[in-house]
Amino acid sequence: MTGFFYFNTGTARAEDTVKVYFNTPRASVSADKSDISSENKGIDDALVDFIGTAESGDKLYLCFYDLDRPNVIEAVNDAISEVGDGNIFMICESTDSSGIYDCISDLDITNVITDGTDDSPLMHNKFAVVINRKKDTGRVWAGSYNPTYNGTFVNNNNAVWIESYRLADVYADEFEYMYNGGAGKFSTHKSTSPNTAETVEVGGSDIDVYFAPYPDKAATNTSMVLEDLFDEATDSIYFCMFTFSSSETRLIEALVDAHDRGIDVRGVVEATQSSDVQSELREEGLDVSLDSNDGVLHHKFCVIDYGTSHQKVITGSYNWTLAAQNTNDENFLVIRSKDAVERFWKEFQRNKEAAGRFYEETDAPAVSDVLVYPSPAKNADEVTIGFTLSMSVTEVVIKAYTLSGDRVMKTEPEFYPGTYNERRWDLKNSNGSELAPGLYIVKVEGKTGDGSFFDTEKFVIIK
């Protein structure tokens, strides 16, 4: 794959940044957990590392629907020696569906409360905050991931680790509002809050923050926010969703409207939770599949306009349900980091490929819509090659030529059939030398059971 770059937002940097984590689920976990290696490094270890960043003078806030991972519990207890018991606070859901109270008893910290309700509504958040307001330092952990055995090893999940004092301050305000001096203030007991609908800049990209519910703040109703984002889409909407309720008619209609105006709308939903909506969207012609995972698809994310200048990803604890909007304590982020969006797009493609399509466009060309941008590539270090593949493509080769026919690059990239793909090229030839200014041709070849097919595009290098 000579000349192509893949960005890993899991690489730590000192400045504000977004790091993205996904797990790789197995089929099941044995009752005694003996099949889980203590050396396994995964999403739970990333959370352990996050907690481990807390040091003297910091406050550590933990807000999780569920918790039973011993290494995470141990990390919280270890943090006491760094920040002190009085600076660690935890909120969790009180429904004891998987032994949450037993896990709480394993914690050595004093400041732990539950939401105080045994059923609906739920304290459904999954976030953590490390913050030092005297030093203006902080970071946030958020996403779909509960630090449990199933959350780590069985169910598909994601998390983001964001280095940002401003974002940490917003999440800390929300936590303190819910904690309310240990008395707890949850669900519809919340009123107007300055926390929701905040925008912060992280690493040069804006991130919007939303919490639910705030029923008296209609201007930032979370369902309305999502509807507006769907309405603003210009190219594509790709989503992975654990629970998409048929009663969320606002979002269903927004997705159908987007499809009808030519937006590429595709989705994967959890088979045990959202089959009714999947059937309803299929009847409207939308490419929405039931997941094929052995566990559950616990993601709650959506990638909008991938590959454009205004691409974004939505992720957090928020399922597309009326309960998430109106009663559960929830959060979600709208992240515009190019690298983060690409990571989520790849995760969508992985789940979509496993789930399959509900229909096949038999007349679709094997390769189409080849483009190279920027073009002209003026003093550029790289270009992006985009192309659309049919579901029948089994192999892809990308080549670049001079106008005289001399081949300067060949690569066999990772690809996803049945959708639009993008790959980056560093404008170097097969020997690693920079290309000279001039006009070039990119050729994308796709192999199917019927033979090989291709499409081409010209682009210019100017220096």
- H or E stretch covering 279: helix 275-283
Sheet holding 126-132, edge to edge: 17-22, 158-163, 137-143, 126-132, 59-64, 88-92, 111-114
For the chain, give the number of residues: 463
Which of 124, 126, 190, 298 does the annotation list as catalytic?
298
Residue 300 is a catalytic residue: yes
3-state helix, strand, coil in the chain (%, to 5): 25, 35, 40
- How many Cβ atoms sit within 10 Å of the Cβ of residue 189? 13
- H or E stretch covering 202: strand 198-202
137 within 8 A of 143, measured Cβ to Cβ: no
Which of 44, 291, 305, 339 does the annotation list as catalytic?
305
Q: What are 20's two structure tokens?
A: 């993205």
Sign of the CA dihedral 98, 244, 193, 191?
negative
Residue 305 is a catalytic residue: yes
List of residues 6+ apart from 174 with CB closer than 8 A: 193, 195, 196, 211, 331
Q: What are 116's two structure tokens?
A: 């105080």
The phi and psi torsions of 112 (rounded to 5 degrees) equal -125, 130
141 within 8 A of 47, measured Cβ to Cβ: yes
Distance CA 52, CA 159 (A): 17
Residue 33 is a catalytic residue: no
| Closest to 318 in 3D by CA, of 333, 335, 340 | 333
Start-end of H helices in 22-157: 43-52, 70-83, 100-106, 149-153
Which of 19, 124, 259, 300 does the annotation list as catalytic?
300
Active site residues: 298, 300, 305
